[in-house]
């Protein structure tokens, strides 16, 4: 992915104007190089992890409340419907670790259900997470709750003083769907390593394949919130690499790719665009796309197979009455 980072195009003589305007620190060079490599790809791509700056995290919260976006409320329904069975399978007490904790709303429900003693939330949006963990502490005063800022795809480092008790990795929201099967397997192996220890395990949310129209509506809502969320990635990239994307010039596209069993989100250029950043540029033809997200919908047997290949055992799944969504527990 980060192969050749040489910029094939000439740099503009005048320094590129950044959409962010004022002097703002760019991302570290290695990260900048990765983002630029994605922009120079054919097709161009931006990692979905860059959706989640402060505004993106808030837009995602708004998405979870949309009538068309069923995953969040369906997952909540599964947890409510099967709370006691899930608590029994997972075991009570212990340490809950949530990669990509975001708002910590789900962590609150789960930690209360289990009577967890410790919680460690990890999120790429560190400031946003700090606020969420503060709210979690206020809601559950008996819980030792910590926030760790970081990218969950590179090893998660737990604070040293987290006790050596049973660890549950909690990965709700079907976020595993952002990874293609090989990357999902690698991430599950990492979670397996994190959960290993007496009785440790994984509780993970999986969005199941379903009618394409239902899926498509969930990622292309009538109010246009998902479109704003998608375009916001360009504002974030502008800050990361000092580029001059004009988000209003990009059209939100989302569709279900039945062959790959995934929702794809793209941004399509409303007309010819030239995007500049310090040291490089990329031209886009009208309608040319930037791929911003895949959201895989794993059939349950395929997902259980991934879990077992990652080293997990004794998988157990709970679903809603329409079989749209599953919570899966497995032991490390």
Give residues in contact with ligand AVJ (CB under 6 A): 63, 71, 173-175, 177-178, 219, 226, 293, 295
**Residue 148: exposure state from Cβ atoms within 10 A (0-12, 13-18, ≥19):** buried
Closest distance between ligand AVJ and the C-beta of residue 60, in Å?
6
Nearer of residues 62 and 87 to ligand AVJ, judged by Cβ:
62
Please say which residue, 119 or 219, places its beta carbon nearer to ligand AVJ: 219
CA–CA dist 199, 113 (Å, integer): 18
Nearer to ligand AVJ, 25 or 182 (CB): 182
Paired residues of 169 in beta bridges: 97, 202
Q: Tell me how far apart the alpha carbons of residues 319 and 325 are, in angstroms, rounded to a whole number.
A: 6
Q: How far is the CB of 26 from ligand AVJ (least distance, A)?
A: 25
Name the closest residue to ligand AVJ (Cβ).
295
- For ligand AVJ, the closer CB: 236 or 331: 236
Distance CA 130, CA 102 (A): 9
* Cα angle 184-58-223, degrees, rounded to a multiple of 5: 95
Please give the distance of CA 44 from its chain centroid, rounded to a whole number.
20
Output the smallest distance, CB 50 to ligand AVJ, in A: 12
Strands 280-284 and 273-277: antiparallel
Q: How far is the CB of 319 from ligand AVJ (least distance, A)?
A: 17
Shortest separation between residue 219's beta carbon and ligand AVJ, angstroms? 5
- Shortest CB 239 distance to ligand AVJ, Å: 20
DSSP letters, 116-184, are -SEEEEEESSHHHHHHHHHHHHHH-TTSEEEEEES-TTS-PPPPTTS-SS-EEEEE-TTGGGGS-HHHH
- Choose between 100 and 242: whose C-beta lies nearer to ligand AVJ: 100
Q: Which is nearer to ligand AVJ, 173 or 209 (CB)?
A: 173
């Amino acid at each position: 992915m980060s192969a050749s980072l040489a910029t094939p195009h000439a740099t503009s003589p005048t320094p590129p104007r950044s959409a962010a305007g004022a002097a703002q620190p760019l991302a570290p060079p290695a990260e900048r190089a990765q983002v630029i490599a994605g922009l120079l790809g054919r097709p161009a791509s931006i990692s979905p992890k860059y959706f989640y700056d402060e505004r993106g995290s808030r837009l995602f919260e708004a998405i979870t409340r949309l009538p068309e976006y069923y995953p969040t409320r369906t997952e909540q329904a599964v947890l409510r419907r099967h709370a006691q069975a899930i608590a029994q399978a997972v075991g009570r007490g212990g340490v809950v670790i949530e990669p990509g904790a975001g708002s910590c709303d789900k962590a609150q429900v789960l930690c209360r259900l289990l009577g967890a003693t410790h919680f460690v939330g990890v999120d790429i949006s560190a400031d946003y997470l700090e606020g969420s963990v503060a709210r979690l502490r206020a809601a559950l005063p008996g819980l030792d709750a910590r926030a760790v800022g970081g990218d969950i795809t590179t090893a998660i480092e737990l604070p040293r003083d987290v006790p050596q008790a049973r660890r549950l990795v909690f990965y709700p929201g079907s976020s595993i769907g952002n990874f293609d099967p090989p990357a999902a397997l690698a991430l599950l192996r990492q979670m397996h390593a994190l959960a290993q220890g007496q009785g440790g395990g994984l509780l993970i949310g999986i969005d199941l394949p379903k009618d394409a129209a239902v899926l498509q509506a969930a990622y292309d809502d009538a109010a246009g919130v998902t479109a704003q969320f998608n375009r916001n990635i360009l504002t974030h990239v502008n800050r990361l690499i000092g580029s001059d994307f004009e988000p209003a010039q990009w059209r939100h596209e989302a569709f279900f790719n039945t062959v790959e069993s995934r929702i794809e989100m793209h941004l399509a250029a409303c007309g010819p665009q030239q995007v500049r950043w310090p040291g490089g540029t990329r031209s886009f033809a009208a309608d040319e796309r930037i791929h911003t997200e895949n959201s895989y919908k794993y059939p349950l047997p395929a997902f259980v197979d991934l879990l077992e290949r990652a080293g997990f055992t004794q998988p157990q799944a709970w679903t809603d009455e329409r079989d749209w969504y599953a919570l899966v527990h497995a032991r490390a």
